Structure formats: C-alpha cells, structure tokens
Amino acid sequence: QQQVRQSPQSLTVWEGETAILNCSYEDSTFNYFPWYQQFPGEGPALLISISSVSDKKEDGRFTIFFNKREKKLSLHITDSQPGDSATYFCAASVNTGNYKYVFGAGTRLKVIA
C-alpha cells in the first residue's frame, strides 16, 4: 500500500515558468510533510516542510500549499531555473517523536533554459 503518492512522475518546464509538483497521502494521522531535493549522486536535501496546522509555507521561490481536508499538498517552484533540475520527494510523518518518514516515489523535474 503506497501511503504517499506523487504526480507527475516527471515534469519538464521552461526556465522562468512555475513548476507544480503534487503529493497526496492516505493516513490522516500524518501531520508533518517535508519536501526533499535530490541531485544525481547525492543524498536528499531538505528543501521545505509544512505541518498540518498550516495551509501554506513559503521559502523564497518554493511554496507548499496544503489541503488537509483533501489530504493533498503541492510544491510550487516559481521562476524555475536549470539548477532546479532534480528529483523532488514528498514525505510524510506523524509527529510522535519517532521521526519515521514515508516517502513518495518522487517527481523528476527538468528545467530547460
């Protein structure tokens, strides 16, 4: 059972456009949602995160929109740059102190100059 789903599997945008990456989950007890950026040959790097008490989290060009009722969230990357080309993973966890994450399958983003 895949608890965290991501779409699309891959996405190509032009430089300067907004990339929208989607994530949904099944377990209503999940209340913390980090997004990770992974470049080939590297470990995942924490990009931005949101807790379920918020519906929006912004950090520079990266914004998470969260819809608790629909169990959906999305990552918006505005003014996309070629350097943003990477795989983005949505994860979910329950803030009970055990820090266990469930990861989605990832979205591979390519930004064309």
Partner 1 sequence: SVLLYQKPNRDICQSGTSLKIQCVADSQVVSMFWYQQFQEQSLMLMATANEGSEATYESGFTKDKFPISRPNLTFSTLTVNNARPGDSSIYFCSSSGTGGNYEQYFGPGTRLTVL
Q: Can residue 25 be called a binding residue for partner 1 (CB under 8 A)?
A: no
Identify the residue among 34, 77, 80, 88 touching partner 1 (CB under 8 A).
34
Q: Is the dihedral of CA 14, 67, 33, 91 positive or negative?
A: negative
Q: Going by C-beta distance under 8 Å and a sequence separation of 6 or more, which residues neighbour residue 31?
A: 51, 52, 53, 93, 94, 95
| From 15-23, 31-39, 52-60, 71-79, span contacting partner 1 (CB under 8 A) | 31-39
Tell me the two tokens of residue 32.
């913390």
Q: Does position 44 bind partner 1 by CB under 8 A?
A: yes
The piece of 16-24, 32-40, 57-65, 76-84 that touches partner 1 (CB under 8 A) is: 32-40
- Smallest gap from Cβ 16 to partner 1, in A, equals 27
Q: For the CB of residue 57, give the shortest distance to partner 1 in the complex, in Å.
A: 13
Q: Which residues contact 112 (CB under 8 A, 6 or more apart)?
A: 12, 13, 14, 15, 82
Under the binding rule (CB under 8 A), the answer on residue 59 touching partner 1 is no
